[in-house]
């Protein structure tokens, strides 16, 4: 559980840190951000995971997400991992922003040359939580998960696959059915191969169709999002949740796009929503 501190800064009475460690899952060094709000000595705090989208690192939400005031108010730790393995030895698709580094899609790749390092599912579901539990005042019995775009896809699928672990699941402009849209077909096909049945555990709509359940979901989606019709398709998630009896609050936010201007506007709402469910 060796971890190095890259930086720590006081914010809203708590500590915003960036840390690094050598990951066994990805076989690389990995950076991640953690905000720990002010708290009493010995207290254990609920944890909210934020999974970032295509091209992003931990730094995007840390610098532009505007979550710290809400996390300090509600006493919630926020953890922001990277989106993919990094390093000179990690294969990449240099001319493709939506595949390779920065585009891990939170899967455990099975196809070469991706299988060795692109193990973001196991990294997020197992390895990093073990490190967070060991090194931070985290109550791992009270976890929620959220994310944006590709990270919204990650939050929904990880939350659905691990409903016993995550008490609350939300997303900002998520890719809800990657098996049915260009971003997802490209990523899942190249990371996992041609067997589309294997894709279903990385597709929120398919997981729900196959029986995965959470009590409720919160999704915010901008109506001016340039990716709305071709890549995101929230109506597919709404239909799947209706058929499954999942309470899905899908808020179409008029005039908002896909950027962090949108995310930061509604971030405090999401933190409060998770805090109410995490106790």
258 given a catalytic annotation: yes
Q: What is the pLDDT of residue 85?
A: 98
CB under 8 Å to 10, separation ≥6 — which residues? 16
Taken in order 249, 254, 259, 265, the sign of the CA dihedral is negative
Q: Domain spans of the chain?
A: 3-30+37-278
Taken in order 214, 73, 258, 132, the sign of the CA dihedral is negative
Q: What is the pLDDT of residue 1?
A: 74
Structure tokens at 55: 């091209």
* Summary count for the chain: helices (H), strands (E): 10, 9
Q: Given the residues 58, 117, 153, 258, select the one marked as catalytic.
A: 258
Q: Given the residues 82, 92, 220, 225, select the one marked as catalytic.
A: 225
CB under 8 Å to 23, separation ≥6 — which residues? 29, 30, 85, 123, 127
Extended strands (E) in 223-276: 247-253
| CATH class given for the domain over 3-30+37-278 | alpha beta
CB under 8 Å to 170, separation ≥6 — which residues? 144, 145, 146, 155, 217, 218, 219, 220, 270, 273, 274
Q: In a structure prediction context, what are the per-residue pLDDT tens digits for the chain, which is 279 residues long?
A: 799 999 999 999 999 999 999 999 999 999 999 999 999 999 999 999 999 999 999 999 999 999 999 999 999 999 999 999 999 999 999 899 999 999 999 999 999 999 999 999 999 999 999 999 999 999 999 999 999 999 999 999 999 999 999 999 999 999 999 999 999 999 999 999 999 999 999 999 999 999 999 999 999 999 999 999 999 999 999 999 999 999 999 999 999 999 999 999 999 999 999 999 999
CB under 8 Å to 42, separation ≥6 — which residues? none
82 given a catalytic annotation: no
The region, left, alpha or beta by phi > 0 then psi within -120 to 50, assigned to residue 12 is left
Structure tokens at 236: 């597919």
Q: Given the residues 52, 84, 149, 168, select the one marked as catalytic.
A: 149
Strand partners, 78: 35, 48
Taken in order 217, 221, 227, 228, the sign of the CA dihedral is positive
Helix/strand/coil for 124? helix
Cα distance between residue 202 and residue 121, in whole Å: 9
225 given a catalytic annotation: yes
């Amino acid at each position: 559980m060796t971890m190095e501190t890259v930086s720590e800064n006081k914010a809203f009475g708590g500590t915003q840190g960036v840390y690094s460690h050598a990951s066994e899952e990805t076989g690389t060094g990995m950076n991640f951000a953690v905000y720990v709000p002010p708290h009493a000595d010995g207290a254990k705090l609920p944890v909210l995971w934020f999974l970032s989208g295509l091209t992003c690192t931990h730094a995007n939400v840390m610098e532009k997400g505007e979550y710290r005031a809400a996390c300090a108010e509600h006493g919630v730790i926020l953890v922001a991992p990277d989106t993919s393995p990094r390093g000179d030895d990690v294969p990449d698709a240099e001319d493709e922003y939506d595949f390779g580094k920065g585009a891990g899609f939170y899967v455990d790749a099975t196809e070469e040359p991706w299988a060795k390092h692109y193990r973001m599912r196991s990294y997020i579901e197992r390895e990093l939580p073990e490190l967070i539990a060991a090194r931070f005042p985290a109550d791992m019995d009270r976890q929620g998960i959220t994310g944006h775009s590709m990270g919204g896809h990650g939050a929904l699928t990880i939350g659905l696959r691990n409903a016993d672990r995550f008490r609350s699941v939300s997303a900002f402009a998520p890719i809800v059915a990657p098996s049915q849209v260009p971003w997802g077909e490209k990523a899942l096909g190249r990371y996992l191969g041609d067997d589309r049945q294997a894709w279903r555990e990385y597709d929120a709509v398919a997981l729900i169709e196959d029986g995965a359940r959470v009590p409720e979901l919160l999704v915010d989606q901008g109506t001016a999002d340039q990716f709305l019709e071709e890549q995101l398709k929230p109506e597919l998630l709404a239909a799947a949740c209706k058929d499954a009896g999942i309470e899905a609050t899908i808020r179409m936010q008029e005039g908002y796009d896909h950027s962090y201007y949108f995310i930061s506007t509604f971030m405090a709402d999401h933190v409060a929503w998770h805090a109410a469910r995490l106790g």
